[in-house]
Amino acid sequence: MYLYNLTLQKGTGVTHAVHGNFSGGKHQEVILSRGKSLELVRPDSNTGKVHTVLSVEVFGCIRALMSFRLTGGAKDYIVVGSDSGRIVILEYNPAKNSLDKVHQETFGKSGCRRIVPGQYFAIDPKGRAVMIGAVEKQKLAYILNRDTQARLTISSPLEAHKSNTLTYHMVGVDVGFDNPLFACLEIDYEEADNDPTGL
């Protein structure tokens, strides 16, 4: 038995957009997330138009999207957070015109839940670490590195959970070559939760 899926009309609303050099060389490209699909587009400086290089369905809801480059690297990688409960690192392969999965790490249950990380991403500007966070409480940090064959590796997660907090945004702070540092915009709701009046 063969199953076939065909989308008659793709979503047109862009939920995330990240720029980078994904195919190597001197090209500047943009990865667009349209809810359930990823699209790689390249601007043409001669004509002033934007050309679609690749469009792929992910069969899930893309919650977060960021790009990063390892120190000394020649091209950028893509980090995708979806409703699958996994962090996925993708690399564009120009020879096959496809996005290859470099690494995949499961960190939580599937679905867009408030305590499952994947809603917020922050990347260290030097490409050494990535932090993923949930709307409430949970945050995980992963160290990015290379092995002896110069392939991308990802560490086990370091937990940075904080109870009774809601997260609004996360960013990676540029600290040069000091240890990676992330800043989170949060609100503490412990007092409101313990207030017997409910106000």
- Hey, what domains does the chain have and what are their CATH numbers? 16-194 (2.130.10.10)
Angle at Cα 80 formed by Cα 100 and Cα 106, nearest 5°? 90
Residue the block writes with tokens 């290089």:
53
Is the pLDDT reported for residue 14 higher than 80?
yes
pLDDT of residue 198: 61
pLDDT in tens, 178-191: 999 999 999 988 88
Contact assessment for residue 141 and residue 130, using Cβ atoms and an 8 Å cutoff: yes
Q: Which of 101, 34, 25, 39 is nearest to 61 (CA)?
A: 34
Average pLDDT in the 46-50 region?
88
Average pLDDT in the 130-159 region?
86
Q: How confident is the model at residue 93 (pLDDT cuts 50, 70, 90)?
A: very high
Q: pTM for the complete prediction?
A: 0.83
- Give the C-alpha separation, 71 to 57, whole Å: 30
pLDDT in tens, 94-136: 999 999 999 888 877 777 778 888 888 899 998 889 999 888 8
Residue 168 token pair: 């609004």
pLDDT of residue 195: 73
